[in-house]
Structure 1
Amino acid sequence: MRAGRARWLWLVALLAAALACNFPTQPPTPLAFPSPAPGQPAASATVPFILPATPTVTSTPTPWPPPFFGTPGPTEVTPIPGALPVFSSPESITFLLIGSDRRTGTTRTDTLILANYQPEFRLVTLLSVPRDLYVYIPGWTMQRINAAYQHGEGNQHLYPEGGMGLLKDTILYNLGIRVDYTALIGFDGFIDLVDTLGGVDVPVACAYTDWHIIDPDGDAEDEDNWALYTVGPGVVSMDGDLALWYARSRLKSSDFDRGRRQQELLRALFDQALRFNTLARLPALYDQFRDTVQTDVSLDELLPLAAAAPGIGTAQVRSFYIDTTIVSGWRTPQNAAVLVPNPGQLEALLAEAMGPPDEAEQARTRTVVAVWNASGQPDWEELAVSRLNYAGFAAVAENNERGQVSRSVLEILSEAVNTDEALALAAVLGLSQDDIVHVPTPGYVSGYRVILGADYSPCFAPAKIDR
């Protein structure tokens, strides 16, 4: 393994600124839930998957249409494939958090995370874009998306707005998302930022093991200076070095899993920024990291956005990923390994991610779920709260008053029973219909209470959580 192999970075401070019992005397009785009627599968035609052809210069040059962000390109390139429709709302604000290990002398944007904010719904959407996504870079060629920035920087006679402008064009063309602001931060800057914030407590739901350097000041090329290191499950306090390792490691996993962990860190940093009023320090942080973060958003533009952050809970932060359900691996004629989008799946994902919440999703953020930890494992109540937040449910960890129990239970505390909602809650937590009981408790603030037993399994896949 090599210290410089994995490249990772993003902006945390700007994202945070942009978003910003009584018991019954009788034993509870199991609630009988009717089994959902099996759905009738709809017949659908199978459409063969066709890989995009490598663009070539035509004998009759086709002029490239006016660029989206004022970055003119060559005029002799056939623009394929066609541009996607715009999915992001004109009223929304989108940040592009980008990064690369600039110590290599180049800037290939190996991490791309889009953060879209919809003010009307106080809703934030995070979308992880894999670095090997095979796209059309406007005015140039088919290539990995992480090559757009470097190409724009190296050809500013063609792209006056440089790498940032071309990367914005590339995302708009291939993903249908207009980027309003961009930000880039390096390894050292990220470490300094996390340490300046006092570290971060990350709810690590699934144990993660990967190679970790033993002595950061030692020889990174010495294999004896590396050892396997494991974090979680549990709430892990991370300083800048450990947070960087957790976000960029992939020798024992993949780029897709790395995207999951990066969003896990972002959500934790956002939650912590709200709880400890970090946003009040925004002007000082902006000035402190002025030379570390490359961005096109000014402090005057940032402060009004920061004012909205306290009204956004982590249940109002949605997580989406362009993963193996959306792309297919392919080798180019030059034998480069790339990820080709499956058009139907990609467009469906983008429409959902950038679209407004439906009534059911909005109702979830108003549903309060209390979580008691009776599993015997420390911090697992925080892991369950995070899990429920991914699904859009508001949740709060409360002190356990039951002692340790063997079986996990979902208690419905309200008089009325919403069967669909209760089943959805149980499914999110990995519980079954048999684990749901009705315990009417008048006056209790929460509509539900989850008792985590020794049988509770905290690990889950955020991409499979249904909001």
Structure 2
Amino acid sequence: MSAAHPGEYGPRRGLGPLLGLTTLGAILPGSGLLLSGRRFLGGLLMSVFLVCVVGAAAFIYVKGPTEAALFLGVRRNLLLGLVVAGVLALIVLAASLVHTAALNWPSRPQTGKRVAAGTFVALLVLAVLAPVAPATQYVMIHRDTLSSIFSHGDVDRGVGAATPIGSGRNAWRTVPRVNVMLIGSDAYPGRPGLRTDSMMVASIDTRSGDTVLFGIPRNLENIPLGPTNPLTRVYPNGYDCGDACLMNEVWNEGEKHKDLFPGDPMPGLTATRLALTEVLGLGIDYAVVIDIRGFSALVDAMGGVDITVKTRIPIGGKVENGQIVPGSIHGWIEPGPQHMDGYTAMWYARSRATTDDFNRMGRQRCMVGALVRQVDAPTMLERYPALAKVAKDNIYTDIPAEHLGAWAELVGRVQQEGTIRSLPFTNKIVKVTDPDYGHIHEVVRNAISPHPVEGVPAPSWSSSSQPTTTPSAPRTTPGSTPTEPAQGLVDVKNAC
């Protein structure tokens, strides 16, 4: 670097002023140049910096940190534009530091000071430019993930799908409630078809953010299909043929009769959506599907999950003729506090060899509550690349990309203002072999009312008539105590 002529901007300075002014210029851009005699350039940089800081602070103050992050996170082009602007700003800052150093460069023959000054400036510039690579990587991963997951919403989503959202600020102003179907599938190599062994519907009050998660038994029988469901041409009286026609087979029926769903890319999803609409008495607006492997990978990407296990749960286990097949259990999840990896969490949420479907539904509710409790922004940001890959590879949703801004607003409201309650339709509420759908609709209406009655809703059958559970294997194992998860409508944080 060539020094300016002595006296042009004052007497030549030593190493101390150079170190101080370049460091000050890194903390408050433009200040080093301003104090080195470059008043216009330094003042301009400082003014632009302060305007950006005040604007960003005002934006975060008005929206709140979470909502501000969600607002930016779902706007792919805006986020990319901000990253490009940020990279250019860092390059300008690095150039200003080099210019500040040149204005205060030690004169000869102070060779040692010149070497120290050069090393310091180089390290300072590297420190300023260091965020460029990871920031760019995170943004590209994020954009790619959003494009992959939400591209499905741009195609025809089949009969029964809704697109009720408005545009602009408060896009939900004409939509008091939105319902999302959450499906956990057990499709994997070696097993034909897709079985929806975990089915929930999240019903969200868009004004308060209050959310109710309804858990639907996989072995529900006598499924009403509804007048708009194309499967009524095959099953005009509903999907009713005893234990061969269960709720978790509706998806496969849709795929089997895809000719009844012309132009529909996912007839199984549509058939399930319409069936659950009739089961709950709630219109299903959107769907999210995740497979077992995706759930396991998600828990691993989050660093595991902490759960207090209440009764011994088998890993694996196959039931035939009411008995557990010898050798089919590969291990046990023992009672007490457990830090589970994805594989263990998957079996905790889906095992039923020694219990039943209803106990499993309760454990799934426990799992949801545990995952909700441990989500925190710093950890999720650190693990974001792994989480994004899991989401991209294992999650399907028909939420359109253009609705992401509205969903960011709603998610922020749910997290900051709302409560998340859960109500699985266990044998305490519904008799799966002969469901009273009028009673189910009544229970749903109570749960989503502004002042729901919490606890266990009265069953729709007489006390002398007991519901039938699907597995006939023993409910407990030697040395264990049968412990039921909380029943009825409860906050997911208190579900276990």
TM-score (norm 1): 0.51
**Alignment match, 1:136:** 224
In the TM superposition, what whole-angstrom CA distance separates every residue of 1:75-130 from its partner, at most 9, and x where no partner exists? xxxxxxxxxxxxxx942222211132212120121221111221212211111000
Classify the secondary structure of the residue corresponding to 2:431: strand
In the TM superposition, what whole-angstrom CA distance separates every residue of 1:177-213 from its partner, at most 9, and x where no partner exists? 1112212222222111111111112244xx2213225
1:47-196 equivalences under 5 Å are: 68-69=160-161, 90-103=175-188, 104-134=191-221, 135-137=223-225, 138=229, 139=232, 140-141=234-235, 142-143=238-239, 144-160=246-262, 161=264, 162-196=267-301
Rounded to whole Å, the distance in 1 between the matches of 2:272 and 2:388 is 24
Rounded to whole Å, the distance in 2 between the matches of 1:130 and 1:299 is 31
Q: Are the aligned partners of 1:128 and 1:322 in contact in 2 as well (CA < 8 Å)?
A: yes
1:302: how far off? Answer: 4.1
Q: Which has the higher helix share?
A: 2
Q: Are the aligned partners of 2:348 and 2:363 in contact in 1 as well (CA < 8 Å)?
A: yes
Q: Are the aligned partners of 2:422 and 2:489 in contact in 1 as well (CA < 8 Å)?
A: no
1:364-375 equivalences under 5 Å are: none
Which residue identity does 2:297 align to in structure 1? D
Structure 1 pair 167–222 and aligned structure 2 pair: CA distance change class (3 A): closer
**Alignment match, 2:486:** 462
Rounded to whole Å, the distance in 1 between the matches of 2:329 and 2:398 is 38
**Alignment match, 2:45:** none
Q: Are the aligned partners of 1:325 and 1:345 in contact in 2 as well (CA < 8 Å)?
A: no
Structure 1 pair 192–269 and aligned structure 2 pair: CA distance change class (3 A): same
Rounded to whole Å, the distance in 1 between the matches of 2:207 and 2:385 is 26
Q: Are the aligned partners of 1:327 and 1:342 in contact in 2 as well (CA < 8 Å)?
A: yes
Q: Are the aligned partners of 1:96 and 1:115 in contact in 2 as well (CA < 8 Å)?
A: yes
Q: Are the aligned partners of 1:209 and 1:230 in contact in 2 as well (CA < 8 Å)?
A: yes
Rounded to whole Å, the distance in 2 between the matches of 1:319 and 1:353 is 9
Q: Are the aligned partners of 2:423 and 2:488 in contact in 1 as well (CA < 8 Å)?
A: no
Is 1:325 the counterpart of 2:428? The answer is yes
Which among 292, 295, 303 is matched to residue 198 of structure 1? 303
1:166: how far off? Answer: 1.5
Rounded to whole Å, the distance in 1 between the matches of 2:366 and 2:286 is 22
Rounded to whole Å, the distance in 2 between the matches of 1:314 and 1:253 is 36
Is 1:259 the counterpart of 2:361? The answer is yes
**Alignment match, 1:226:** 329
Structure 1 pair 280–136 and aligned structure 2 pair: CA distance change class (3 A): farther
Rounded to whole Å, the distance in 2 between the matches of 1:282 and 1:307 is 21
Q: Are the aligned partners of 2:305 and 2:341 in contact in 1 as well (CA < 8 Å)?
A: yes
Structure 1 pair 355–281 and aligned structure 2 pair: CA distance change class (3 A): farther
Structure 1 pair 115–280 and aligned structure 2 pair: CA distance change class (3 A): farther
Q: Which runs of 5+ in 1 are unaligned?
A: 1-16, 18-65, 71-88, 215-220, 330-338, 362-389, 392-456
**Alignment match, 2:371:** 269
Which deviates the most, 171-180 or 340-349?
Answer: 340-349
In the TM superposition, what whole-angstrom CA distance separates every residue of 1:344-374 from its partner, at most 9, and x where no partner exists? 431221112232336x99xxxxxxxxxxxxx
Q: Are the aligned partners of 2:294 and 2:390 in contact in 1 as well (CA < 8 Å)?
A: no
1:240: how far off? Answer: 0.3
Rounded to whole Å, the distance in 2 between the matches of 1:238 and 1:307 is 32
Structure 1 pair 269–153 and aligned structure 2 pair: CA distance change class (3 A): same
In the TM superposition, what whole-angstrom CA distance separates every residue of 1:286-337 from its partner, at most 9, and x where no partner exists? 56532322221245534643455455269811110212133225xxxxxxxx
Rounded to whole Å, the distance in 2 between the matches of 1:252 and 1:288 is 30
Classify the secondary structure of the residue corresponding to 1:340: coil
Rounded to whole Å, the distance in 2 between the matches of 1:288 and 1:274 is 18
Which residue identity does 2:302 align to in structure 1? L
Percent identity between matched residues is 26
Structure 1 pair 256–98 and aligned structure 2 pair: CA distance change class (3 A): same
In the TM superposition, what whole-angstrom CA distance separates every residue of 1:396-437 from its partner, at most 9, and x where no partner exists? xxxxxxxxxxxxxxxxxxxxxxxxxxxxxxxxxxxxxxxxxx
Structure 1 pair 127–313 and aligned structure 2 pair: CA distance change class (3 A): farther
Is 1:244 the counterpart of 2:346? The answer is yes
Structure 1 pair 173–259 and aligned structure 2 pair: CA distance change class (3 A): same
Is 1:350 the counterpart of 2:444? The answer is yes
Structure 1 pair 275–316 and aligned structure 2 pair: CA distance change class (3 A): farther
Rounded to whole Å, the distance in 2 between the matches of 1:327 and 1:288 is 35
**Alignment match, 1:11:** none
1:67: how far off? Answer: 6.0
Structure 1 pair 315–124 and aligned structure 2 pair: CA distance change class (3 A): same
Classify the secondary structure of the residue corresponding to 1:328: coil
Structure 1 pair 145–314 and aligned structure 2 pair: CA distance change class (3 A): farther
1:136: how far off? Answer: 1.9
Q: Which runs of 5+ in 2 are unaligned?
A: 1-69, 71-157, 163-173, 240-245, 318-323, 457-480, 492-496
How many pairs does the alignment contain? 273
> RMSD in angstroms over aligned alpha carbons?
3.7
Q: Are the aligned partners of 2:210 and 2:418 in contact in 1 as well (CA < 8 Å)?
A: no
Q: Are the aligned partners of 1:132 and 1:145 in contact in 2 as well (CA < 8 Å)?
A: yes
Rounded to whole Å, the distance in 1 between the matches of 2:197 and 2:224 is 17
1:169: how far off? Answer: 1.2
Rounded to whole Å, the distance in 2 between the matches of 1:113 and 1:279 is 27
Structure 1 pair 289–344 and aligned structure 2 pair: CA distance change class (3 A): closer
Which residue identity does 2:441 align to in structure 1? E
Rounded to whole Å, the distance in 2 between the matches of 1:305 and 1:166 is 25
Moved over 6 A (4+): 279-284
Classify the secondary structure of the residue corresponding to 1:326: coil
